[in-house]
Amino acid sequence: MNKEYTEVSPYDPSVDTYTTTLSGVKAEFDSKHKKCRYVRKDGKCNVLFRHVPEECLMYVTDIFTTLVEIRWRVMFLIFALSYIFSWLFFGILYWVIAIANGDMKDPNNAPCVYEVRDFTGAFLFSLETQTTIGYGFRGMSENCMVAIIIVTVQDVISCFIDTFIIGIAVAKMASARKRAQTVGFSNCAVINLQNRQLCLSWRIGDFRRHHMVEGKARAQIFRPNMHATGREDVHYKDLEIKQSDIILAIPTTIFHIIEPSSPLYRISLEELRKDDFELVVSFTYTDDSTGILHQTRTSYTPDEIHWGHLFQEMLNVNRRYYKVDYSMFHQTTKVLVPEVSAEEYEQKGFGVPHVTPRAPNAHALIANPRLVNGTLEPEPNTLKPNTWHLQYPPPCHWWQCSTWHLMYLVHVSYVIAEVRPPDERALINSSSSALRIPEAVEDRERERLCLLLPLSPCPPHFTTPFPA
């Protein structure tokens, strides 16, 4: 297996970087088995409706929503045609009135509309009336009541069209879809260890200076299901997010703990490569400028979920302000993460934060440790003479351990073997000879140190025996 690692800087103490089976590479997926996305990366649902009953009637009856949702170029075309058709319609009416009144035949006759001798003049009079240009050449006379009524109707319709167009334009510019484009998700999701638990995480950030009032994150697993009869349907499963209510002032990483209730609990790296599901994530929030409710969403396929990766830090805090570097928004770094599923990881006891001896003896590790200043310390009343004390220092990387750690571990390996299961005891016995190495320690041997103590940060420190 190809193993490539990148140093995490600054180091997050809550992230465990030890593993029994190391993984820090992006999985390769067979593109032949990939299906189309349910939700595209831009948040649009990849759904096509067919044979909708009375589809056209529904769009016409809800014309306001229809015009808000259509594209700008289509909206401009519709609005331009609405003005042109209204000018033509009333121009035809004025032309018919002029013909009926005899304005075309006898110029000396008292006309209904001055200076309207043909259809062009009638169209120009309609345009000048509706747009209130008023050049002064054409105008109404008091001799024709029908023409006066038509001019009044045209003025009312003109006000209605102007109001409708302005309302549509404002609603379209203030639509939630445009504001949602200023809130973005990371290009990928990652799986790593947080507080000795496998977690799925993704990043979300607001790119505007004026942020939203409040927001709520949500995630679902979308999985197509093919029955033996050939019928295909979809299943939805919610992912629990511990801290779903977010004030998105700075970019935030959303965490989902892969626990027994999670649909990802039994999925390992190998199964993730073969699985066919889609992680749909959304963020619903209220904008502080407009008070409008918005929603941003995207999706991640299994090939966009990077196992053994961690988002790089993009926040720098100084005395005056918090500095956010958005160039690191999508950047990840590789860390050591087990390739097994969360279920197998817990069954092997790797998630237990301390070591409990199975049987007390003269050189047993102290039981009942407690967490003190980020390290595991024993209770004061449990310090016994001639007993080895296992202390957890601040975590460090496997390539940073010194030769002294390796050589000293040889002298206490038998202590660990006393409290480990038989399978782990055999692993220690078979690997203890590899620990007796000279000063020049190879990276491969340093890595094996992590295999010896999967329950502790790598490498652990052992104190000297307590005096009798």
Confidence category of residue 231, pLDDT binned at 50, 70, 90: confident
pLDDT at site 202: 95
Average pLDDT of the residues in 418-429: 44
pLDDT at site 155: 92
* Strongest mean pLDDT among 237-246, 284-293, 391-400: 237-246
Look over the chain and give the mean of its residue pLDDT values, rounded to a whole number: 71
pLDDT over 70 (residue 422): no
From the list 179, 165, 160, the residue with the least C-alpha distance to 64 is 165
Average pLDDT of the residues in 196-221: 86
pLDDT over 50 (residue 391): no
Greater confidence (161 vs 447) lies with 161
pLDDT over 90 (residue 51): no
The CATH architecture annotation of domain 57-177 reads Orthogonal Bundle (1.10)
pLDDT at site 174: 74
Greater confidence (215 vs 361) lies with 215
pLDDT over 50 (residue 397): no
Confidence category of residue 8, pLDDT binned at 50, 70, 90: very low
* DSSP structural state of residue 292: -
Residues 6+ apart with CB under 8 A from 203: 185, 186, 251, 252, 253, 254, 311, 329, 330
From the list 210, 307, 219, 292, the residue with the least C-alpha distance to 256 is 219
pLDDT over 70 (residue 115): yes
From the list 180, 246, 244, the residue with the least C-alpha distance to 207 is 180
pLDDT over 60 (residue 52): yes
pLDDT at site 178: 61
pLDDT over 60 (residue 335): yes
From the list 439, 269, 252, the residue with the least C-alpha distance to 329 is 252
pLDDT over 50 (residue 357): no
Q: Before 263, cis peptide (omega within 30)?
A: no
Average pLDDT of the residues in 423-447: 41
Confidence category of residue 404, pLDDT binned at 50, 70, 90: very low
Confidence (pTM):
0.59
pLDDT at site 265: 92
pLDDT at site 55: 77
Distances (CA, A) of 122 to 41, 98, 104, 138, 382: 53, 8, 11, 9, 105
Average pLDDT of the residues in 28-56: 74
pLDDT over 90 (residue 257): yes
Query: Phi-psi bin for 406: left (phi > 0), alpha (psi -120 to 50), beta?
Result: alpha
Cα–chain center distance at 70:
26
pLDDT at site 208: 78
Greater confidence (72 vs 455) lies with 72
| Tokens found for residue 78 | 């519709």
Cα separation, 128 vs 136, whole angstroms: 10
Chain segment 147-202, per-residue pLDDT in tens: 899 999 999 999 999 999 999 988 888 776 666 567 889 999 999 998 888 999 99
Contact between residue 239 and residue 263 where contact means Cβ atoms under 8 Å apart: yes
Lowest mean pLDDT among 58-67, 87-96, 262-271: 58-67
pLDDT over 50 (residue 310): yes
Average pLDDT of the residues in 374-378: 39
**Residue extent(s) of CATH 1.10.287.70 domains in the chain:** 57-177
Contact between residue 255 and residue 244 where contact means Cβ atoms under 8 Å apart: no
Cα separation, 160 vs 328, whole angstroms: 50
Q: Find out if CATH 2.40.50.140 is the number for domain 31-41+187-346.
A: no
Count of residues in the chain: 468
Cα separation, 415 vs 360, whole angstroms: 11
**Residue extent(s) of CATH 2.60.40.1400 domains in the chain:** 31-41+187-346
Distances (CA, A) of 269 to 136, 274, 305: 81, 9, 10
Q: Strand 189-194 and strand 212-226: pairing?
A: unpaired
Q: Is residue 438 classed as helix, strand or coil in its secondary structure?
A: coil
